[in-house]
Structure 1
């Protein structure tokens, strides 16, 4: 590490930044290891010591902080180590509970984080999320997460959530039933001072009302679709903004639509259009059709060729199969038409000679990759978010050979990352397969990006992979 940054080259700054990440992660792991070592020194039952003060008189006792299968620690011994850590004892207890769970219940994850593959706060959160699982159940989480530690934190936590539900579907069903008993809609009254306090979250509440609602998931989805449909119709039939005025955002129109639902008759009148022959044009001339709802469900088969208990629903996340059935039954009860689209074969590939990626190619790419394929990207592709840009990994050549556009030449990127690849000199990307890319940055950083995350590679590895990419691309385009 160098102290004078003023004369540093870009390459040295990047190297120092990477070194800093490794050193910070190692230091955070070291703090957990120190806690564990302290706990090991104080793992004996203090009440078994000669002349021990009984617990009923305030004496020390052995407490269990972690989940099933973790050892105990003497409660009063934690105060001194908390002082050394410059924090309160509750924070130390929480950190030790997480460290116990990682070492004893999530050993493969613990090995990965000790190797520097992941941020410590992420695996600590996984430890807390999985604490109620028993030792047998938590093994499923440990195995899946150990293979996913190179991914972005949001993706790691999404996988952890799915595996925890899969490990104990009965407990998750109980969570669902508990939440259904806590449904409600609340219209909180403004607190004194909120009308003029601009420092509160979201600014002052002058002229604004707030609504909170807890609904069944299917009802919430249907309500959101109705608001979106009505907001779109309102925006389309609004007068154009005056010169110099900025058009109203869809947030505004969704708020208008939500408020309009308080008068169902007005909504029906607007969506149905003016009465025949009245000569007015206050709303749509034709009835506005309700938008079609698409539910994309990813399922996995067990060793017995049966569906597993958990599916991943795009835009929602992991859901029990019973929840998916309830979503479909909900729409059936509302006289909606439910159709099942055949499974898309993600092993198939296709190429075309035009510039635009066909819809089916885009679809397969997004299903294969799940998210943005820029190094260390966190964005996930959902129905609620912006669709990715489908960039030609190798730039399209209007005078080039046929079949340039297809699965073999498609890199899904968020707009910001697409702009960087296109307009910043020095970025390189080579496609190794339908879901594997190797990147180079303008100042010599190299990354292998797959559906399993981002891994640093050396310059030598980059050139080795680059040679393979030429062969693979030719095979895929054939």
Structure 2
């Protein structure tokens, strides 16, 4: 029932067990397969679950995700997930996903190839009675539904086109005085529907660009802004393996773990590609002013990925929100030079920034460019790194505090 390395079970033995569990035998079979995988294939994760470090449903999903791996490959998943059990469920599953892909990139490529053959678009008809039933989960009166499975790059391009067209429609919409403007969800639906008539889209875009007094030369000059081959920025996090070569898996911001071949596919539709210099996150810089420079903010964002408040799950790239770059050690205009830099930058979402600033009892110290220790008003202590949050004791907090960076002349630019 479980993956490679789990013991065999007499199939009919599960029938009475299912009766005792008040469920169908297939549900019992699934639960037992997950338990066997955890006990025999993911022993480090299993020990963490028994000590209460993680909810059971999360590790059951990890067991199912990794079931196709053999007993040697799954060890990579076991080690990584066990060290992350104190994180939020979304972080645990993201780590598990990346390690499953890394453990067997060939199998993942097979999944990708299979999905390319399963693409399609579907326009389901409403069920009889659903248009008049207000108790239906989704009343379908006057509404159609579309489902599509596309190549990932095509789906992203389609999304950007719909978003751009929706923004233009919303900007040029006639809103009656005193009426509430329609939501962007409404305009995205209008834009999606409008794509069924490309001529109408071109006429609309031409109309909003055709302002009085515009010459033909100026009009032509405006057209590149509507060029479908728009520019795109892809931020890719890569790491070296033990041999010094690039590993098979990279993390693409806003998308997640991807094979390196998938990263190249994302750029396939662009005729001009500019590769920016690699940002080495092991380097640092400091300045003498109060404001964090753009390059320092970028390195901090890339190191941390998101909010570094304990157990925060906000990813700045995914949600498009700019973090507050708070000085871990408060800035002192009469203090030493070099107070602003990678060593003194705590990116926080606004709500968490307000809590740290206005609620007495919160403490934070920075141990390096990607490591912080927090204390709360009621004596909870947490270590936060780029990999997430770990609960620590007061004694561990005090021990870490000795390593906290003290601003000194050595940090001057």
The normalised TM-score by structure 1 is 0.76
Contact kept in structure 1, 2:338 and 2:409, CA below 8 Å: no
Relative distance call for 1:349 and 1:196 in structure 2 (3 A) is farther
* SS of structure 1 residue aligned to 2:268: helix
1:443 to 378, 385, 389: 378
Q: CA deviation at 1:198?
A: 4.5
Deviations 1:225-254 (A, max 9, x none): 1112222233333456633x4333322322
Q: How does 1:8-87 map to 2 (within 5 A)?
A: 65-87=1-23
**Partner of residue 254, structure 1:** 188
Q: Does 1:117 align with 2:53?
A: yes
Q: How does 1:327-476 map to 2 (within 5 A)?
A: 327-332=266-271, 337-397=272-332, 400-471=335-406, 473-474=407-408
Q: CA deviation at 1:313?
A: 1.2
Q: How does 1:231-246 map to 2 (within 5 A)?
A: 231-239=166-174, 242-243=177-178, 245-246=179-180
**Partner of residue 144, structure 1:** 80
Q: CA deviation at 1:91?
A: 2.7
* SS of structure 2 residue aligned to 1:223: helix
Q: CA deviation at 1:346?
A: 0.6
- Taking the aligned partners of 2:409 and 2:399, their CA distance within structure 1 comes to 18
Contact kept in structure 2, 1:153 and 1:378, CA below 8 Å: no
Task: Specify which structure has the bigger relative contact order, considering alpha-carbon pairs within 8 angstroms and separated by 6 or more residues.
Answer: 2
Relative distance call for 1:274 and 1:150 in structure 2 (3 A) is closer
* Structure 2 portions without partners, runs of 5+: none
**Which structure's CA Rg is the greater one?**
1
* SS of structure 1 residue aligned to 2:54: coil
Q: Does 1:97 align with 2:33?
A: yes
Q: CA deviation at 1:85?
A: 4.0
Contact kept in structure 2, 1:350 and 1:407, CA below 8 Å: yes
Larger mean CA deviation between 219-228 and 260-269 belongs to 260-269
Contact kept in structure 1, 2:165 and 2:191, CA below 8 Å: yes
* SS of structure 2 residue aligned to 1:135: coil
**Partner of residue 50, structure 1:** none
Q: CA deviation at 1:138?
A: 1.4
Larger mean CA deviation between 149-158 and 74-83 belongs to 74-83
**Partner of residue 182, structure 1:** 118
Deviations 1:247-303 (A, max 9, x none): 3332232222222222222322333446868679xxx98443455211111222233
Q: CA deviation at 1:357?
A: 2.5
Relative distance call for 1:231 and 1:384 in structure 2 (3 A) is farther
* SS of structure 2 residue aligned to 1:439: strand
Deviations 1:336-357 (A, max 9, x none): x211011101111122344432
**Partner of residue 319, structure 1:** 258
- Taking the aligned partners of 2:169 and 2:339, their CA distance within structure 1 comes to 42
Relative distance call for 1:72 and 1:338 in structure 2 (3 A) is same
Q: CA deviation at 1:68?
A: 0.8
CA-atom RMSD, angstroms?
2.8
Contact kept in structure 2, 1:349 and 1:476, CA below 8 Å: no
Q: CA deviation at 1:113?
A: 2.4
Larger mean CA deviation between 337-346 and 107-116 belongs to 107-116
**Partner of residue 146, structure 2:** 211
Q: Matched residue pairs, number?
A: 404
* SS of structure 2 residue aligned to 1:331: coil
Contact kept in structure 2, 1:67 and 1:131, CA below 8 Å: yes
* SS of structure 2 residue aligned to 1:73: coil
* SS of structure 2 residue aligned to 1:432: strand
Relative distance call for 1:198 and 1:413 in structure 2 (3 A) is farther
**Partner of residue 271, structure 1:** 205
Q: Does 1:131 align with 2:67?
A: yes
Q: Does 1:306 align with 2:306?
A: no
- Taking the aligned partners of 1:425 and 1:176, their CA distance within structure 2 comes to 51
* Structure 1 portions without partners, runs of 5+: 1-64
Q: CA deviation at 1:154?
A: 1.0
Relative distance call for 1:208 and 1:475 in structure 2 (3 A) is farther
Relative distance call for 1:81 and 1:274 in structure 2 (3 A) is closer
1:293 to 214, 223, 232: 232
- Taking the aligned partners of 2:339 and 2:226, their CA distance within structure 1 comes to 39
* SS of structure 2 residue aligned to 1:108: helix
Q: CA deviation at 1:470?
A: 4.4
